[in-house]
Structures are given as C-alpha cells and as structure tokens.
Structure 1
C-alpha cells in the first residue's frame, strides 16, 4: 500500500493538473534533411500533420535559407499551361509556329512548318519502322509512306518513341502528326495521320512567353530572352501599333509599353493578326527566321500545392526548364520548385533532395539554465506551461531546431519513467517515439528521465540528477 500510495503521489506530481495553461500554437517552417523526391517529400509532410512549404514572402525565404542553404524542395510544381493576354483574358485563338510534328535524335517532338523539307519515318507493313533519307515536305512524306509503306510513323508509347528516335540521323525527321481544325474555327488540335487523338506525347516545349515572327507565326520563348517588341492600343476603334526595336526581356517590354500608355500587342482574331503582320512588314527593313517580337501573351504553369496563390520568387534566369546538373527537365510536367539561398529554381521532381514542411505545433522555448530534471519541471510549470512533449515528427523537428546551437550533449524534455513505463508529464500519449536504440526503453533503474540528444535528435534515458538545459512548452 505504501508503494501504491507513493506511485499515486508521484503521478499526481508529475502529470499536468486540470488548471495547467495550454501551450500556444505556432506555425513553424521545418527543414527535413532526409533526401526524397518531390512527390515523396510532399507525402511525408502531409502524413506527419504538415504541408509542403509555400514561399509567399521573399524576406522569410531569405532569412530562413541561412540555416538551410542546400537545394531543398518546396511545395511548387509545374502543371498544365494556360495562356493569358496581358489584359488578363484567357487566350482561345492561337497561331503557333508549325502545323506538323518532327522527331529529333533524343526523342523530343518539335513543331515545324509543314513546307520544311526533312527526312521522314515510315511504318513498314511488317510492323517496324524505317527512316527515309530524302528531304520532303510533310505532305510529300505522308504520300510516299502511304504509297510504299503502311504510312508515316505513329508513336503511341515511350517504348516506340525510343526505338523510332534511334533511327533519326539528321536533326529532325517527320512523323505522322499534324494540327487539324476543330469544330470551332478558333481551335486546333493534334491528330495522327489515321485520325487518332494523341494519347502519348513528348513535346520539346516548356517556355513561358509568346513572340511573333514577321510571317505572323507565334513562338513559345523563355521570358528573360531579349527581343524587340510591339505595343498597341485602340484609338477610336482603330488599332494603333508601335514597334520598339530595342531588345528587352518580356516583363521589361510590358513595362515600356505601359509607359507609352499602351500594352504589349494582343491578337484575338485572324483579322487582328493580319493587320499586325502588315504593320510589321511595312515598318521593319529586314527579316530573318530567328527575328522575334514580344507580344502580350504569357503562361504561368507553376502552382503552389493546395493553393490558388501564384506568387513566386524565382532566381534570375529561372525557371529555364534545366536542372542544377544542367540537364533538360523531361517531360516538362516533371518540373518542381526548389529553394536555395532564398531563391526558387526549377528541378526534376524525381531527384532526391532535402525538403521543407510547414506545420502548426505547440510553442516551445529553450531555457538555457542547467537544472536537474525535477528542477526543470518546476521551472516550466512556474514560468511557462510544462516540460515539452515531442508527440509527432513535426514537434521533433522543431525541438531539434531549437537546440541546434546548444553546447551541451543533452537537453531535458518531459519524459519520465514511472510505474513501469515511460510517460510524457504533460499527459500526451506516447505514439511517436525516437529512442536512441529505436525501441521503448524498459526498467532503466537509475536513468529514469528522458533527454533529447543534441547531436542526432534521439531520445535517451539519463539520470534525473544531471544538470542540463531544457525545453518548455509556452503559452
């Protein structure tokens, strides 16, 4: 009975009473050193009551990155691109350069004008493919393949794409894919020569702003390239254009047009396109195939996970669809955002990197006054809330961040061995564990109090009389 009474007394002393204050809740940014793909990192954050980190404030990113300056995933990913005009309207009319598709030697698909003359790939009646080393237009190639073989090559999966692209000897070769008109005169889609829809694709296209050439074709370009540009405005229902010959990046061109009380040129109909082409030909004295003029069309395919917020703070010349190892990111939808030194870069989603999570956890404070475990408990209850519990992976990471600059080897936390088992003195259930040996310790004899190991974050049983700093919950 005396032992039972003593244990009951100790339980009463150690456990939080009904009148103990409740810890405050704080949103913490947590850097997880384990290297995972973007997909696994996202799943890890969500499965541990957190979320992938969204960098919505550049100053926060700059300040926090000093403690984690290695390339690390954040919750940013590339999704399907939707094109907008600078007047914020959705684009439904397009005149992209190229109506026919070609394949290069590494398996990427490129749009070309159908009158270009290229080698071409036919499908044999036997079922395999052959490269015809004759330069023909797409229509001529189609006719030749249908006469002598089973038709221009159709690619329906990645395996076929790899086999067929290995046959290509020049820069590009025609395949059996072309743009065709939809029911609406303003819409086009890609179809194979047998009229099947495209179910597999590997387009070499991942850029973000649109430019127009002197013939009126549109090109998908990286926004930080520098080109001349065309401003416009409506004056009494008449289109007024102004070609600016100075080379600028797209956003600089947009700003320049606004200073002229104009906008980067918007083209929403065939008639407007014709008027613009006539203007370009009348004002510009020479034309080359690589001469482009910015227009007011852009896309932003980057999204924060679980958010409609589009704010992004890219490093200069980013995103460029090239990862930190200088490799092109393919396919383009496998690009995700990573943070380094407070700036965003695009990286291949499957690469293993450390990552950031955000989580709402109970507020903790490190008390830098070495005390025994019981003295630490009294201090926390008198001045704060209680010795801290680490009842989840997110609280564990926060605790590790709090103690990373502590000079001693251990820090007290609210673990105590009582009545044959370990308890959190705040009253939390022990479901998440992080013991040094990977298991729940039993019968520690003289080591009956739990401490956090500063070097590796593991929990270890220590003598309660040792004097060390400690973590308290705080309101």
Structure 2
C-alpha cells in the first residue's frame, strides 16, 4: 500500500511540472522600420516577436535592454482577401495604400484603398464561370454579400498575371469603368508568423489608429511593456523570437526521427498540457505527411505509454481507439504521432512508418 501511494505521489508531481516557454526572445538594439525588423528577424531567427500570453510577455520584457518609447513586436494590421486567403501579392498604385481606408478597388489596373461605404461596381468570382462583372454600384460589404449569395466571392488576385487578366476583363466588360471593387480588405490585427491573435496587452485607449495610418505595434518599456499602435515607417529597436518547436519535413521512422532531433536539436517533442498541444497544432500544419511523430513511445513490457524525455503521460489527446495500454507489439513496437489535419489528435503507428516529426529546441 505504501509503495502504491509513493508511486501515486510521484505521478502527481510529474504531472504538475509546468511547461517550458514556447519561444526564445532576442532583443536587437538597431533602429529599423517594422518591415526592416521583420526581414532581419526572418533571416536571423524565426520572425518578429509573437506573444501568446502573459508569461510570454514577461519573458519578452526580460530580453529588452532599453528604456525606450517603443520596441517593435510582430503585430500588424494586414490586408487579406474576402475568400480568407492572405494577400501575398499586392499591386498598389503610387502612394497607396494611404492608411486611411479599409477596402480596395482597382483603377486603371492598379489598386487603391477606399472607404468601404463608397458605392462602386465590382467583380465576383464564380467557381464554374470564372470572373463575373456586376454593373451595379454597391458598398464593399454589399458587393461581398451579393457575390457570396449569387456566385462564390468577390474576386481575389494572386499574382501579376491574374491582375493583368482582371484589368483586361474589366476593360472588355465596361470600357468606361473607373473604380471597381475587388475582394481585398484590411483585417484585424495579425501576428507576422500568422499565429492566432487572441492575447492582447494594449495601453489605455489603444489601439487608436491616430491619423489613420497606425498599422504596426510597439511595446513600451516605460509602461511595463503595454502595447501601442504606431506608423510602420518609424524607427525603433525590436524583438525577434526563435521557435522552440520545429517541424522537420523529412520522412523518417520514429527511431530515425528521435536520432535526428537529438543530434541536431534537443529531442522529439513532448506534449504535457493543453497549452503545448496548441503549440503543436500551430506548427504541425507545416507538415507534408498526414501525421507527425511525437516523442511518445509504448512499452510492451510495462504496457504503458511514456515520453522519451522521461515524463509520464499525464495530459492525453488520443483519437478514439488509439493509445490503449494493450497495444499490439507485433511485428513492431508502436509510437505516437499527431495528425497534421482534422482535429489533430494523437494516433498510434508502427515505429517503422515514415513520417515528418517535431523537434524541440529547448
């Protein structure tokens, strides 16, 4: 009985171990614009700093070595398509966008930002018919609703070729068209690395978009790191982050993946909490296989699952029918993987399967 209680206490202690911080922050004391800082961080580390919670915020501020009026982080308001796709190609006219407006239209083949409540004609996209010209003036939101109800969505433009095709289509459809709505609009705040924006630490009465051009974010050391929106062309020092989880897009067996992580990083990842599962879900979408190896292993001798880091499996996220103690150990041992799509739950697979995998850098 005493031995059982000792084992139980040990399990509780192991299960209460807190998770390590997901990212390592690096303060760069060089004056750059937000875009220049982003480029620097992507070349030297992972990206401009992302902050998911108050613990991240505390760790970030520990890295800051100046008492400045602003230090760039990776939060920015970005343009995206009505379809939900990111705007990777942009074809703005001179001095556009001017930062004052939220919706985009095409004029003479180039894009400009305009007031969403203005009324212009527009172009929809239909999955079976292609481009559809609508010679009826509406606000941007009304045009979006019309396209979604009658076709697929407002038109998206992914590259220079599509932009030229759209310009020709408009000229052929309506020779006197001037301003024509497209599906581009400025969305809410987003992180540079495309992480979900859920946590915020804004200063009082911020963000206020003063002057209509404050689309980037600084932390302010003088106000304990509170955030302020500011014009992106200002010059400030900045904080980069280095991800502590990395997806390796090589197809290896579980043992080969374990060896790779230990030789090139630290180890295969362990998932000991809901928070760490969310971190894994954020990076696993980069995988090229249907599942990705975790540092999860089944012991045939003991009939238990364990993490190769030495931790007990406390938190669990198994798909139905997976992760039982009575795994079939023939012809090979089973190891744990996380699905790269769907609900991203854990599955049991023979260790000889060839999958991508997640290493940890801490």
Same fold (TM > 0.5): no
Higher Rg of the two aligned structures: 1
* TM-score after normalising by structure 1: 0.31
